[in-house]
Structure 1
Amino acid sequence: MWDPQWRILLDAGFRLIRCDFRAFGDTPPGEEPYRDADDVLRLLDALDVRETAVIASSGGGQVGLELAARWPERVTSLLLLATAQPGREKSEALREFGRREDELLEAGDLDAAVELNVTTWLGPEADGNTRAMVRMMQRRAFEVQSTAPDVEDVDVEFDLSAIKARTLAVSGAHDLPDFREIAAGLPQVVSGARHLELPWAGHLPSLERPADTARLMLDFMTA
């Protein structure tokens, strides 16, 4: 999903690392209890990266928050796009989305489950190519996750107020209320955090307006 920004950030002189979580992209499902944040930390250790900025979207933003809270000395900057938040109770709208998605998958209607995600997560300005990309990514995720064993997360306690990273939380005006409220509320939880709402965006601004999002990233990273 970061292909549109990849070359722009490289050309600006940044060293980039991107990873799929387990059961996404080409990364196989986990077979034992795990946490995505632990996986990311192990990757950074393996690459001998002691400090890094983190750019993350949606569920990846939740992992970024956890990473920055548990190991604040490792994360220097945190740019979150439509982020989820650890431990936050879901709204009725988000629970209804989950119920409908589960019903469609259990009925074997993969096409309808994919379309539900496309219509839920993309804002009104998303073009046909963007919708096709999200369809492809979501179908791939469903296919990989359908083979995943039932594995529980490792429980870990942490406090978001421990985050030291310079933080910008971005929301989309056409997103579900959960994610707009999370982004707007983070400055009350994370010291020095800022909130920015994009009037044109849904849940996936990096795909909806790739060039605009790339400029936002560069502005934040070079400030």
Structure 2
Amino acid sequence: MTLSHRVVGSGPAVVLVHAGVCDARMWARQVEDLRVDHRVITLDLRGFGETPLTAGAKYSDAGDVLELLDELGVETAKVVGSSYGGYVVLQAASRQPERFSRLVLMSPPADDVVPTDDFRAFAAEENELLAAGDIDGAAELNVRTSVGPEGDDEARELVRVMQKHAFEVQLAAGDVDNDEWEVGGITAPIKLFTGAHELRFFAACVKHLSELLPEVEHTELPWAGHLPSLERPAEMTALIRAALT
């Protein structure tokens, strides 16, 4: 399986892995900045953006990312991951730690963390909307939940479009088997960001990861929701660039 991907620029490789409410389009502003001195690789995981998802598929998102690095001849990379994309990055870096020199992650979920009440309420409402066939309503719920107060109308509309497309593709595929790998044994330094305006679950996840993994540095962004790279793109791009170095 070859993931839909784009490679621009030259220099050290940096891979950008999108959030579960987005696809590679979320990184447009970061790509334009980083391509000046990096080989920037963006991708769509299965069921997102331009990468299809077939009914009954058996795969691993983390395995797909490692396979793409093999295909592109990338031996070592820095990686930026947002939300679910950060979880995928953690799995890949646990399986092949020698391939990753630095991880910059925004609010990645983590295993073995009890869902908070606000997360449970969100998940229940999303499931109810999808069960009723209300994809538009479910997409709008994700926009309200994920985009913080600093996000403008353009950012909200982009998330709405990306999430609606992902729902349509994934619901059409039905049940699939995505093999998730255990997280641990990562050797690369990790920079974690969370937002003060997102579900409390993600702060709990970052606390767990900070205790589980070595060389973790965490910063809470007081202005941010769950998607800071779309909410204040120029400021977040500067923070990402600093964290990569």
TM category, shorter:
over 0.9
Does the CA contact (< 8 Å) of 1:77 and 1:166 recur in 2? yes
Return the alpha-carbon distance in structure 2 between the equivalents of residues 159 and 181 of structure 1: 16
Counterpart amino acid of residue 134 in structure 2: D
Provide, for residues 10-47 of structure 1, a one-character-per-residue CA deviation record: whole Å limited to 9, x for no partner.
Answer: 02x10011111100001111442211000001100111
1:181 is matched with which residue? Answer: 204
TM-score, normalisation: structure 1: 0.93
Which consecutive unaligned segments of at least 5 residues does structure 2 have? Answer: 1-25
Provide, for residues 138-164 of structure 1, a one-character-per-residue CA deviation record: whole Å limited to 9, x for no partner.
Answer: 1111111121131123354x342x110
1:25 is matched with which residue? Answer: 49
Cα pair distance change 1:140/1:159, threshold 3 Å: closer
Cα pair distance change 1:21/1:164, threshold 3 Å: same
Percent of pairs with identical residues: 44
Cα displacement (A) at 1:187? 2.4
Return the alpha-carbon distance in structure 1 between the equivalents of residues 102 and 180 of structure 2: 25
RMSD: 1.4
2:156 is aligned, of 131, 137, 155, to 131
Cα displacement (A) at 1:182? 1.8
1:218 aligns with 2:218: no
TM-score, normalisation: structure 2: 0.85
2:168 is aligned, of 143, 146, 151, to 143
1:75 is matched with which residue? Answer: 100
Structure of higher RCO (CA pairs closer than 8 Å, 6+ residues apart) = 1
1:60 aligns with 2:85: yes
Cα pair distance change 1:145/1:33, threshold 3 Å: same
Counterpart amino acid of residue 169 in structure 1: L
Cα pair distance change 1:66/1:129, threshold 3 Å: same
Higher strand share: 2
3-state SS of 2:94 partner: helix
2:226 is matched with which residue? Answer: 203
Does the CA contact (< 8 Å) of 1:62 and 1:84 recur in 2? yes
Does the CA contact (< 8 Å) of 1:65 and 1:85 recur in 2? no
3-state SS of 1:18 partner: strand
Over 3 Å off, 4+ runs: 86-89
Return the alpha-carbon distance in structure 1 between the equivalents of residues 238 and 128 of structure 2: 39
Return the alpha-carbon distance in structure 2 between the equivalents of residues 111 and 8 of structure 1: 33
Cα displacement (A) at 1:128? 1.1
